[in-house]
Amino acid sequence: MNYNEFLSETLEKLEKVSSERELAELKATIFGKNGAITELMKKLKDLPPDQKPQAGKAINDLRVQLVEKCEQKEKELHKAKIEAALKSECIDLSIDKCDCHSGAVHPINQVRKKLTDYFVGNGYIVYDSPEIETDYYNFQALNIPPDHPARDMQDTFFIGNGILLRSQTSSGQVRLMEKYKPPLKMICPGRVFRNDDDSTHSPVFHQMEGLVVDKNVTLCDLKGALEGFAKFIFGDQTKIRFRPSYFPFTEPSVEVDVSCFKCHGKGCRVCKNTGWIEILGAGMVNRKVLENCGIDPDEYHGFAFGVGLDRIAMIQCSIDDIKLMWDNDVRFLRQFR
């Protein structure tokens, strides 16, 4: 056999090998029990002794060359196999941008937080009072006896047996004054319930009660507190005005307007051309209420106010239907990000 021919033929075959299995088969035909090299080795013994060393060396050189080439091929195949596996098993961690949006704080919560920040910053405590109340805390202790016509001011949900859904956070005033003695400064934010249902009234809405009780508290203090609060919420140029009103638990009672933050008093759609927007009810705590809570009305005086949070959110954000606040439509909520 011509060794060189054999070598080039074998290398040609090796070149075409494309899998580890094919390589193993080819190697068997070269180095195996009946492989070409093995056969050559076997034939060596038949050669005349003087040719043996030279032939032996030539066969060995051939073997060494082929072993080397096969190892090289094996490495190539192994590398290709790993690369193919990496390619086919690779996980694409990239993902199409999904339609995700970060949340937004509900306008009512934004108003509640802002008001709370203002009053807490001025030394008020935040007091939590029950939503399910007794007639006593919601009405009687607030100087509204069972047959008092003022009960008609708030169309209340009665549960029965003197239990009701609180129609105002003013019940929190009584609970606080029963529990703690003056000096007192508190706000009581929360949900209230009335049988009212139209575009500006919802059966569930939010109020924030404010109460200050101390010696020598006057209507002037009330005005100062509310003026500071109005400027904080609606801007520094905001003015407030008191209009006489009536609540059984305050005497005197006032309704408080702020100058329109949109037109600054000139008259526009927001203020219905009056230049003023009504935002809350307030007054000096009625002596009878202090007495009902065991506080001496000759020693202590107080003021109280109740703000509608939904109303403030609606006028500030130009929302014309209160129901939008309850629909939880993300398109609505996204606008307040």
User: What is the CB-side half-sphere exposure of residue 27 using CA atoms within 13 A?
Assistant: 16
Q: Is 282 among the residues that bind ligand PHE (CB under 6 A)?
A: yes
- Report which residue type is found at 238: T
C-beta of 150: minimal distance to ligand PHE in Å?
10
Task: Specify whether the backbone of 81 is left (phi greater than 0), alpha (psi in -120 to 50) or beta.
Answer: alpha
Residues in 241-280 that interact with ligand PHE by CB under 6 A: 247, 250
Q: Is 119 among the residues that bind ligand PHE (CB under 6 A)?
A: no
Q: Is 286 among the residues that bind ligand PHE (CB under 6 A)?
A: no
Segment near ligand PHE (CB under 6 A), from 106-114, 126-134, 265-273, 304-312? 304-312
What is the per-residue binding string for ligand PHE in 139-178, x denoting contact by CB under 6 A? -----------------------------x-x--------
Please, is 171 exposed, middle or buried when counting C-beta atoms within 10 Å of its C-beta (0-12, 13-18, 19+)? buried
Closest C-alpha to 234, from 179, 295, 278: 278
Q: Is 189 among the residues that bind ligand PHE (CB under 6 A)?
A: no
User: What is the CB-side half-sphere exposure of residue 336 using CA atoms within 13 A?
Assistant: 22
Residues in 305-334 that interact with ligand PHE by CB under 6 A: 305-306
User: What is the CB-side half-sphere exposure of residue 223 using CA atoms within 13 A?
Assistant: 10
What is the per-residue binding string for ligand PHE in 8-27, x denoting contact by CB under 6 A? --------------------
Q: Is 217 among the residues that bind ligand PHE (CB under 6 A)?
A: no
Nearer to ligand PHE, 40 or 165 (CB): 165
C-beta of 283: minimal distance to ligand PHE in Å?
5
- The residue of the chain with the least Cβ separation from ligand PHE equals 306
Nearer to ligand PHE, 127 or 305 (CB): 305
Asked if residue 243 lies in contact with residue 260, where contact means CB atoms within 8 angstroms, the answer is no
Asked if residue 312 lies in contact with residue 120, where contact means CB atoms within 8 angstroms, the answer is no
Binning the chain into helix, strand and coil, the percentages to the nearest 5 are 45, 20, 35
Tokens of 251: 């005497």
Tokens of 285: 């705590």
d(CA 246, CA 244): 7
C-beta of 306: minimal distance to ligand PHE in Å?
3
Number of residues that bind ligand PHE (CB under 6 A): 11
Nearer to ligand PHE, 232 or 242 (CB): 242
C-beta of 128: minimal distance to ligand PHE in Å?
17
Which DSSP category does 101 fall into?
-
C-beta of 332: minimal distance to ligand PHE in Å?
26
- Greatest Cα pair distance, the chain, in angstroms, is 140
Binding residues (CB under 6 A) for ligand PHE: these are 168, 170, 209, 247, 250, 281-283, 304-306
